[in-house]
Structure 1
């Protein structure tokens, strides 16, 4: 067997594989001999079928199968030994008139080669890593939310500005009938608030949906309609009051602190606020890290320039999936996936250059930590290592889940590498200002 390569250009090559009869003949003869021992052909006893008849019936199929196995093994070994970084899989060049009886068989395969490129993690304009802090207003609002959540309801005879009002929104024509509990501060205008203040259980308030709320999601919840249904909705609805309550805030005492965090963990309002700040900023760190990861990824895809063997990849995509694609379909698929392919190559280079590895122990330990955190949410604070091992084994028996966890670890390690090596500046910001700056003031 002989393998040679012709480089067409930096991204395309053709590999030629010459296979001589002696490379496969002994194996083919042995398989046919085994077939002869077991073949059931009418008119002949098992094991006594003439070899000529076995070869006539099975010879071509066995020959083709063995040659294809040889080709596959030879190509894989060649690509490994030559350290060729190929995209997709080798594509066999069509051969319509191949003489399978010849003493030498020649096959050609097209290769798409991965491009060589450099990755720059130090652009002139630094990436921003946000240090998101919980401001006093956010902390105080959260304290009040806790007091409301653990407070009690006291029945009222009439609606006041801070009442919680339960009632039924109705519109017969649109078949709307939905029971909700609401507070007046959610309404857009003071005129709506005035309609409610002083009303009693049984009273019917007439309202217009247009301009009723600042946020359409509030209207979706109130009327139990979909997003498209409430967009621009301008109809009359009624709200029949069924219940009026005042929510009395819970006292910020030791009983409440123990309910929230366990006995003696928090012993004062100051410690409560510190705990709220700490928990909030842990979540903010995740958002900040994800923002940095997204920004670096987007920058690398847009600014790391290299060519791809696009013609080869489109040709490969025609036959790579479950269903064969036409040339136009393959071109469309390539255009959709080009950015993703570029990032895969960039990520692969970063992983190689920075010696980032993920072992099975890494995946198992990550899974156990995830499981432990999930169990803690349900009050199981001290699971045994055996429990964690058993659950992790079940989770990781799903190959898709194991792959997903591996990708999470890779992302974490890439992020750590970016923090160490990329051009980054830190910006301290409150969460509200972070939302405005990153997502716009919505």
Structure 2
């Protein structure tokens, strides 16, 4: 047997495997004997079928199976032994394989196209500086959140005539043209003050005519009403007619024990001051998660921009198309390949960091993560107390479900968290204090 790597360049190559009869024939003979012992063929006693008969009936398929089995193992061993960092899977030369004469050939040559990346370096030190944000929750955000909670847990009524704080649902159509929307929703309070008079006092089944460009100060609200993107809504013009089918009024909930219990659970908060503090704490926790997530993106961007890895782009495109059962086309690649390659490059960086720094995840850690997740879904520690010793069995059952995919999902999540934690501990995160509004603006600008 001979295995040769023919490198076309630093990212693509061919692995050639040459087999002689001595490489595969002992395996074929052993399999023929095994078939002979087990075969149940009419005219012969079981276990007494001559090897020649078995060879005539099954010889070619046994030969093909054994060679494919041998190739698979030798190819995998060669890649592992030579520490080749390959991407995707080796692609067999189908044209060359199709030309094999299995009846007469004794020596065989197979080719596998591979895509690979050479070893690369990365910087994991305090020299790496990444911007992070610490979000300050101000009074305005707290007031807005409490107002939202009061509305969410308020009481709904259905007045006969619309007031300035009421909501309208109905049918929307353009006065000229074919535009029609069967279900439209409009909050009178968000309509421009000069236009609100059109809607105040309107009753069910009545119609309101208006110029859409004058209705709202924000393009986003115009887009929501018309069902189009905010960018398109900037240029929206024309006269529209809103036919009212329903009027609703939400009476905000009072700030009292009933609201406290509905928001945070019975007995968690007992005074208005504690309620406000708890709201502030919850907002802070939520935005801390968002800022951490945003920091993760900044770290990813840094390493993608500052780690030199030459990718086998053409091989990857060929591999994706050939293994997708027709789902990946040239059009799909044109739209999505850059994002795919970017994700693959980030995986390479993370995996090398994990390999170099010996980041590991133990099975018990995965089980504990599963238990935490289950408890979070079903009521926390109170639920754990009810289950007692059965918690481990429930977690194990979850991890074994879906053919072990749940285990792998949590394993990869934990591994990713450990890698990111390691990176943050070694680089310099430059924290900047910002308000909620400033943070939202920064995130929005980053998207563009």
TM-score by length of 2: 0.77
Which residue does the alignment assign to 1:72? 72
Which residue does the alignment assign to 1:164? 166
Aligned-pair distance for 1:416?
Answer: 1.3
Answer yes or no: is 1:211 the counterpart of 2:223: no
CA–CA separation in structure 1 for the residues paired with 2:415 and 2:287: 21
Q: 1:98 to 1:10 in 2, by over 3 A?
A: farther
Aligned-pair distance for 1:349?
Answer: 0.9
Q: Decide whether the 8 Å contact of 2:174 with 2:180 is kept in 1.
A: yes
Task: Give unmatched runs, 5+ long, in structure 1.
Answer: none
Counterparts in 2 of 1:41-440, with a 5 A limit?
Answer: 45=44, 51-92=51-92, 94=96, 96=99, 105=108, 107=110, 109-121=112-124, 126-151=129-154, 161=164, 163-164=165-166, 166=168, 168=170, 171=173, 174=179, 176=181, 178=183, 182-184=187-189, 186-187=190-191, 189-196=192-199, 199=201, 201=203, 205-215=208-218, 218-219=221-222, 225=227, 231=233, 232=236, 234-238=238-242, 240=244, 247=251, 250=254, 252-310=255-313, 312-314=315-317, 316-317=319-320, 319-323=322-326, 337-376=340-379, 384-385=387-388, 386=390, 389-390=393-394, 393-394=397-398, 396-398=400-402, 399-440=404-445
Aligned-pair distance for 1:66?
Answer: 1.6
Q: 1:214 to 1:108 in 2, by over 3 A?
A: same
- Secondary structure of the structure 1 residue equivalent to 2:31: helix
Q: 1:99 to 1:330 in 2, by over 3 A?
A: farther
Q: Decide whether the 8 Å contact of 2:134 with 2:434 is kept in 1.
A: yes
Aligned-pair distance for 1:227?
Answer: 5.1
* Farther off after superposition, 307-316 or 289-298: 307-316
CA–CA separation in structure 1 for the residues paired with 2:167 and 2:322: 62
Alpha-carbon displacement from aligned partner over 1:93-143 (angstroms, at most 9, x marks no partner): 536467876776555555444311111246978311111121111112222
Aligned-pair distance for 1:249?
Answer: 5.2
Q: Decide whether the 8 Å contact of 2:209 with 2:239 is kept in 1.
A: no
Q: 1:49 to 1:350 in 2, by over 3 A?
A: closer
- Secondary structure of the structure 1 residue equivalent to 2:360: coil
Q: Decide whether the 8 Å contact of 1:366 with 1:405 is kept in 2.
A: yes
Which residue does the alignment assign to 1:29? 29
* Farther off after superposition, 281-290 or 407-416: 407-416
CA–CA separation in structure 2 for the residues paired with 1:125 and 1:59: 62
Alpha-carbon displacement from aligned partner over 1:238-295 (angstroms, at most 9, x marks no partner): 4559657583651x33444344334443233222121111111111111111111112
TM-score by length of 1: 0.78
Q: Decide whether the 8 Å contact of 1:92 with 1:110 is kept in 2.
A: yes
Q: Decide whether the 8 Å contact of 2:28 with 2:63 is kept in 1.
A: yes
CA–CA separation in structure 2 for the residues paired with 1:228 and 1:369: 40
CA–CA separation in structure 1 for the residues paired with 2:337 and 2:167: 56
* Farther off after superposition, 302-311 or 95-104: 95-104
CA–CA separation in structure 2 for the residues paired with 1:420 and 1:228: 41
CA–CA separation in structure 1 for the residues paired with 2:9 and 2:139: 62
Q: Decide whether the 8 Å contact of 2:398 with 2:406 is kept in 1.
A: no
Q: Decide whether the 8 Å contact of 1:87 with 1:114 is kept in 2.
A: yes
CA–CA separation in structure 2 for the residues paired with 1:415 and 1:3: 39
CA–CA separation in structure 2 for the residues paired with 1:146 and 1:355: 47
Q: 1:318 to 1:242 in 2, by over 3 A?
A: closer
CA–CA separation in structure 1 for the residues paired with 2:7 and 2:184: 72
Task: Give unmatched runs, 5+ long, in structure 2.
Answer: none
CA–CA separation in structure 2 for the residues paired with 1:156 and 1:97: 82
Determine which structure has more spread, i.e. the larger CA radius of gyration.
Answer: 1
Q: Decide whether the 8 Å contact of 1:257 with 1:267 is kept in 2.
A: yes
Alpha-carbon displacement from aligned partner over 1:365-397 (angstroms, at most 9, x marks no partner): 2232222222239x9686525257426623651
How many residues of Structure 1 are paired with residues of Structure 2 in the alignment? 432
Name the Cα RMSD after superposition: 4.3
CA–CA separation in structure 2 for the residues paired with 1:266 and 1:324: 54
CA–CA separation in structure 2 for the residues paired with 1:242 and 1:30: 81
Q: 1:247 to 1:388 in 2, by over 3 A?
A: farther
Q: Decide whether the 8 Å contact of 1:165 with 1:241 is kept in 2.
A: no
- Secondary structure of the structure 2 residue equivalent to 1:424: strand
- Secondary structure of the structure 2 residue equivalent to 1:210: helix
Alpha-carbon displacement from aligned partner over 1:71-90 (angstroms, at most 9, x marks no partner): 22223233333433333334
Aligned-pair distance for 1:321?
Answer: 3.8
CA–CA separation in structure 1 for the residues paired with 2:444 and 2:180: 36
- Secondary structure of the structure 2 residue equivalent to 1:273: helix
